[in-house]
Structure 1
């Protein structure tokens, strides 16, 4: 985070605007209707060229003196003469004010964000002064989805805040109360201006508030691109009290979660299960029994080689409510990102997801049944067994010239796509020095990949 947006209460706050043109007037408009004490100094005002709001303070057609700036909290300067700007800014800072020089970030103590003003609710979008037009565009998109009556909702919450805190001392129960209040009929009634009805609904919810039973959401994080999270997954992350996540979940996805949620890492790599599976399941159960909303966050889809089924059964057996939020399956996302059609009318009438890593003591995949032509294989956990897999498929009849592709960190900014032939798969993987999660694709459709050829990788 390069910028920190702080909210400044405007009650009993003095704001000074200096300038006589449209940029100064734009700053004035920000504070009209606010409780701030607003002063306007306009040394070069041309009132005939401006549409001055009726509620604007009377302009004083001179520079502000040190006495004029005494007690000011924020001072906005919109003047063309930089020597004059420097003089006024020095006086303002000496008086303890923060200074914004319009369109001069280097001369300013702060920049004005693009603001969405809903009275009690203010949303700010800032770029540090580097791209104000971008900030305004983002503001327009957000503003379009925020109801005009949002201020009524926040105002009612402020009025009831002390009552709720004294009536519901349990922190988690209080959080649940506000979630129900802001997502249900009470908020809709308040937004519509039906304040008395909204208050009655809030009080009804308050009488029902009590510590809630915990629950578990088993959530698929997708292949790693946070924009591929489903809306349901995003809601679960933003409601979670505890997030139990594995190695395949990148920080970019975790950053979409509620900031104060506890994050517990239980990642595994081959041969290094830092937290055994039974302990992960017990952790989910213990956290839910403590009354928490638990999100078990897993890369890809938890029900595709993710052991989500085992975790679902374990939590159910403990009598805890559990829900599954599917994720975008890694094979689908990685193939699409790499330009590989898993099925194709001319080249592949079937696709199979298969893991190259059998359960210890379990049965290996039946490569003989998977070696037919016109069939795409998406192979999970296959990089460590690339040589054995290629040999097994060729022994079962797949030709050595069958196209293959390796997709590392699929859908992420550091995605790599490599392609070659089945008889060179082991060398392709070995020469790639893979460090991130990777999927192997075998079949005629792998030739469609948007990738470097094997010869270039070896070089």
Structure 2
């Protein structure tokens, strides 16, 4: 973030505007809406600002800027064509720790004005940090169209009931649930359609109803890494969560989408490293849900594909806890698509098999005869630790040594790297990769060169063959 977005209370605070032309006028109009005390320094004053002076809405204090005029000033706007004067104002404000904005000179701004969508008291401010004003305008138009004109009335009416609701529901979670239910109810439509009496009646009825806290566990698949691949329902749930327990494979971009005041607990597990046990994770899920909290279990990919989601769901159900499952794009599907490798193809593969490189708890062994059938594409999750064993068993049971393989690391992200090689090179290739990785085995890998489409925008040479690496 180049700038921290904050909302300033300027009511009855002194603001200094140096300049009184059309550009200054635009800033003054905005400042008037915030009820600031606006002081002006300028030699020449445009007609509209003269009208504001006549109405005592702004105050003209001098024709020339002097440092003494910065005393008791909260914020300064320099809107002059005099670059030397603008520089002096900027430097003096910095010395005195006063917020300053030199119009149309971002390098001399300690704050910038965002684009504003005003549905007071609901105010949406967006900014491109000065990088793309046209894009900002287009975004503003889209947001303006989405937000009802009477959105502010919804907030105002709710605000009048805050004390009553707080008195009725002492527990924070109870209050939160009440407001979530209210804003998802017919209450909103009543206000939008101008039916205030019906809206208030809705609040009165909902307050009288007991607001019993019922916890739940929601399994959410975060997808293969790229936050753009998160489902809409998953995003909604992340915004409603009280607590989020997340894994190692969940990307930071996805974590940034979690509601800011939700508690986030890392429960990731990585091979070879000390980490929380699955038993403890399940106990924690149940403990938090029984406190009445909405607990999201956030997993990379899909929770039901090698994510142990079934175990966690089963434990929650056994504890009589409400559950939901939000599917995610599993790595095998998402990563292969971003690598341009179709897992099935009429000319190459009649089916696809997903397996994990980790063994099951009861040590059920793989059926290598089926896995070695060349008419199936084999997708291996977490295959790095058992790469050599997988290769040896497949070759032993009939797969050709020359069978094409793809090892994809950090798939679907801008750091995605694809290495193409042969089955008998598998162990050497894995030593050159950085996890997380996905292994694809089969003739469909041959289509990668023709069908690949996703490239790292900062490095167009992110596709390599095993022979070019190993022989270096």
Q: Distance in 1 between matches of 2:307 and 2:120?
A: 46
Paired position in structure 2 for 1:181: 182
Matched residue SS, 1:383: coil
Paired position in structure 1 for 2:460: none
Deviation at 1:87, TM superposition (A): 5.4
Paired position in structure 2 for 1:452: 464
Change (3 A) 1:96 1:389: closer
1:41-82 per-position Cα deviation (integer Å, ceiling 9, x unaligned): 55334549x999x99957859446778766543332211102
Matched residue SS, 2:390: helix
Deviation at 1:348, TM superposition (A): 1.8
Q: Distance in 1 between matches of 2:277 and 2:58?
A: 71
Paired position in structure 1 for 2:5: 5
1:384-413 per-position Cα deviation (integer Å, ceiling 9, x unaligned): 112221222222222222111001111122
Deviation at 1:447, TM superposition (A): 1.9
Matched residue SS, 1:419: strand
Change (3 A) 1:442 1:387: same
Residue 32 of structure 1 contacts residue 56 of structure 1 at CA under 8 Å; is this kept in 2? no
Aligned residues: 457
Aligned pairs for 1:23-42 (under 5 A) are 23-40=23-40, 42=42
Matched residue SS, 2:388: helix
Deviation at 1:126, TM superposition (A): 3.0
Matched residue SS, 1:342: coil
Matched residue SS, 2:111: coil
Deviation at 1:295, TM superposition (A): 0.5
Matched residue SS, 1:186: helix
Q: Distance in 2 between matches of 1:94 and 1:251?
A: 37
Paired position in structure 2 for 1:405: 406
Residue 220 of structure 2 contacts residue 325 of structure 2 at CA under 8 Å; is this kept in 1? yes
Paired position in structure 1 for 2:157: 156
Residue 168 of structure 1 contacts residue 209 of structure 1 at CA under 8 Å; is this kept in 2? no
The answer to whether residue 266 in structure 2 is matched with residue 249 in structure 1 is no
Deviates more, 1:74-83 or 1:12-21: 12-21
Q: Distance in 2 between matches of 1:356 and 1:290?
A: 37
Q: Distance in 2 between matches of 1:209 and 1:218?
A: 27
Paired position in structure 2 for 1:391: 392
Residue 37 of structure 2 contacts residue 58 of structure 2 at CA under 8 Å; is this kept in 1? no
Deviation at 1:16, TM superposition (A): 4.1
Paired position in structure 1 for 2:348: 347
What residue ranges of structure 1 are gaps of 5+ in the alignment?
A: none
Change (3 A) 1:273 1:225: same
Q: Distance in 2 between matches of 1:21 and 1:150?
A: 34
Paired position in structure 1 for 2:365: 364
Q: Distance in 2 between matches of 1:15 and 1:21?
A: 17
Q: Distance in 1 between matches of 2:93 and 2:408?
A: 58
Paired position in structure 1 for 2:457: none
RMSD of Structure 2 on Structure 1 (CA) = 3.0
1:218-240 per-position Cα deviation (integer Å, ceiling 9, x unaligned): 11111111121111111111111
What residue ranges of structure 2 are gaps of 5+ in the alignment?
A: 453-462
